[in-house]
Chains A and B, each alone.
Chain A
Amino acid sequence: MSNEGNLMKGEAARGLIFNEPLIFKKGKKGRTGCDLPEKLFPSTKPEKLIGASLLRGKAADMPEVSEPEVVRHFTRLSQWNFGVDSGFYPLGSCTMKYNPKVNELAAGLEGFAGLHPLQTDETAQSALQVMFELEKLLCDITGMDAGTLQPAAGAQGELCGMMAIRALLEKRGNARKKVLLPDSAHGTNPASAALCDYDVVSIPSGPDGLIDIKKLKEAMDKDTAALMLTNPNTLGLFEKDIKKICAIVHAKGGLVYSDGANLNALLGKARFGDMGIDVCHVNLHKTFATPHGGGGPGSGPCLVKKELKPFLPVPLVIKSKGKYSLKWDSKNSVGAFHGFNGNFSVLLKAYTYILTMGAAGLKDISEAAVLNANYVRAKLKGYYDIPFDRYCMHECVLSDKIQNEHHVTTLDIAKALIDRGFHPPTIYFPLIVKGAMMIEPTESESKETIDTFIEAMIEIAELAKTDPEAITSAPLNAKVKRMDETKAARHPDLNCCT
């Protein structure tokens, strides 16, 4: 690879990037992007179509631009962006794997894309079949009995699961007061518990980074509704005593919720249901390769054991005599979670992904994901501090302890990675590791890409010692140089676009 004029390791080279104003600042009055054929779109007065009373007094202020102006505008904006289609994206606890294009093909099939959400069940059989089968596939993968595809993201899946837990406990006569959470939990977990009116109690991790069983036993009582955990946990470590953990909670009448954020490590290998978990959610936009973040929307199906099934949101997709339909009457349901049927096109993409991979392929995913993370961990050992240095699952956690001696921090390392063409890993999370960098390479990357990333990380570690300023001044190659994040948070300029 030619990296002329740029001695940094990695995949990035210098190149031209274009400034681009708001589209409203482009164009000229009266300019149009395309002419509509008069035969197909005869010109008519709008008041004839909708009545004069519905017309606005003044024409809307719309951009008046030519087709090339529009195309360049959005192409240029897209070049400012970084996504899995442009490079390696090792964002820990987020599983930014590549999103196969065949998924988009399936979601774009006219028979699906052209459906109207208010169509009758009889005329939307294929869509209902996809939902019915996806729910079954996800239940098979996680070892659960039933589920809902409605939640629009992981956090909503959590809320749905916690509401179902509360509903079940209320039905038993006592909703209880507390929810236990390991101190390594995702921030959304305590928020979901609190939204269900539970007090959140943090359980400290032991020196091995796993839940401290003794502390859990002390904290678990008859006022505790549930334990919410993530397995593998947010340090990328498998809670090996998970069966014992579930037994401790169940013995006192509590339930166990597992966050599915890290399911990529377990596909085809271990199932939440078999571990004793009562409720979980899965993130289709992480584990099942649908677009993530701004490219979403997300989807966080919630899956439960059969005793929680009566509390799932409505409608449920059911199959009877070979026909699929939506069932709305469910007297104990916690209610609807999303208009219509969740983010349906995302469901289609995940369904396509699961069928494309097949059972054997899903197993390959978790094996490669775990191997890649351990490879990164082993290769970076010595260059970076590894707070829990043992086999990890699909992600590994480093810290900036060694670089701190030269006043280089995790934030600086993240910025230096941008210069080298990589999206930074998750930083300063989990909170229990000071200066954490959480790297999740995923299974999608080739060994060559991972090696290039490792070389860049090693180069950054060397420079932190010999020329720290080269790291603390990063990024230099990016369109926007180092931002003043503090000023942006303290004095946000929300007027920047006018």
Chain B
Amino acid sequence: MECPQELSYTKEHEWTKEKDGAITIGITDYAQDALGDVVFVELPEKGTSVKAGEPFGVVESVKSVSDLYAPVSGKVLEINSGLEAEPEMVNSSPYDKGWIIKIEISDQSELAGLLTAEQYGEFVKSQK
């Protein structure tokens, strides 16, 4: 399972990357592997507000349908609309081309609640 050091993680198996107050969000390698082939990603609209811990979208695979939970609160800056035509990027490139949304974070302090790569790795191990 790949789990890049520079990213932060959640127990809902999402990763986040911060750059100048914009947070990019996707699902982890572990999550894409557990879900199986992703066939559809339901994205929020640009400009919608999301709240930490609450669902902002849906990812559907051949096995199941799962909610995507916002790791932090804020406003949706950008969505990866390429996923509409090529949802498989979530599987083939979870940390890069398969990113899902970018959020403008409203409360920087929420970042402190995220997990490091080590902590997330430990968490996944404990789930097995």
Binding site for B on A (CB under 8 A): 187, 428, 431, 434, 485-486, 489-490
Contact = CB atoms under 8 A, between A and B. Distances in A.
Interface in B65-124: 65, 87-88
B34 A486 contact: no
Contacts of B37: 485-486, 489-490
A485 B39 CA distance: 10
A279 to B, nearest CB: 26
15 contacts: A428-B63, A428-B64, A431-B64, A434-B34, A485-B37, A485-B62, A486-B62, A489-B37, A489-B39, A489-B40, A489-B62, A490-B37, A490-B39, A490-B87, A490-B88
A489 B65 CA distance: 13
Interface in B21-41: 34, 37, 39-40
Nearest to A410: B63
A431 B61 CA distance: 13
Contacts of B40: 489
Contacts of A486: 37, 39, 62, 88
Interface of B: 34, 37, 39-40, 62-65, 87-88
A187 B58 CA distance: 14
B36 to A, nearest CB: 8
A486 B63 CA distance: 10
Contacts of A431: 64
Nearest to B60: A489
Contacts of A187: 65
A434 B40 CA distance: 21
Contacts of B63: 428
Contacts, number: 19
A490 B91 CA distance: 13
A110 B88 CA distance: 55
Contacts of A485: 37, 62
Nearest to B55: A200
Nearest to B65: A187
Contacts of A489: 37, 39-40, 62
Residue of B34, B37, B40, B88 contacting most chain A CB atoms (<10 Å): B37
A434 B128 CA distance: 9
A486 B37 CA distance: 6
Given A485-B62, A489-B37, A490-B87, 13 more contacts: A187-B65, A431-B64, A434-B34, A485-B37, A486-B37, A486-B39, A486-B62, A486-B88, A489-B39, A489-B40, A490-B37, A490-B39, A490-B88
Contacts of B64: 428, 431
Residue of A187, A428, A485, A490 contacting most chain B CB atoms (<10 Å): A490
A169 B40 CA distance: 37
A428 B37 CA distance: 14
B114 to A, nearest CB: 21
A431 B34 CA distance: 11
A85 B45 CA distance: 49
Question: Which 8 interchain pairs have the tightest Cβ spacing?
Answer: A489-B39, A486-B37, A428-B63, A485-B62, A490-B39, A486-B62, A489-B62, A431-B64
Nearest to A434: B34
A187 B87 CA distance: 23
Residue of B34, B40, B62, B65 contacting most chain A CB atoms (<10 Å): B62
A434 B63 CA distance: 11
A93 B23 CA distance: 41
Nearest to A429: B64
Residue of B37, B40, B63, B64 contacting most chain A CB atoms (<10 Å): B63
A375 B2 CA distance: 41
B41 to A, nearest CB: 11
A438 to B, nearest CB: 14
B27 to A, nearest CB: 16
A219 to B, nearest CB: 14
A428 B63 CA distance: 6
Contacts of B39: 486, 489-490
A485 B37 CA distance: 9
Nearest to B39: A489
Nearest to A492: B39
A348 B37 CA distance: 44
Nearest to B128: A434
A486 B62 CA distance: 6
A424 to B, nearest CB: 14
Nearest to A490: B39
A431 B88 CA distance: 22
A407 to B, nearest CB: 13
Nearest to B62: A485
Residue of A428, A434, A486 contacting most chain B CB atoms (<10 Å): A486
A363 to B, nearest CB: 36
Contacts of B62: 485-486, 489
A354 to B, nearest CB: 36
A482 to B, nearest CB: 13
Contacts of B34: 434
A205 to B, nearest CB: 14
Contacts of A490: 37, 39, 87-88
Nearest to B63: A428
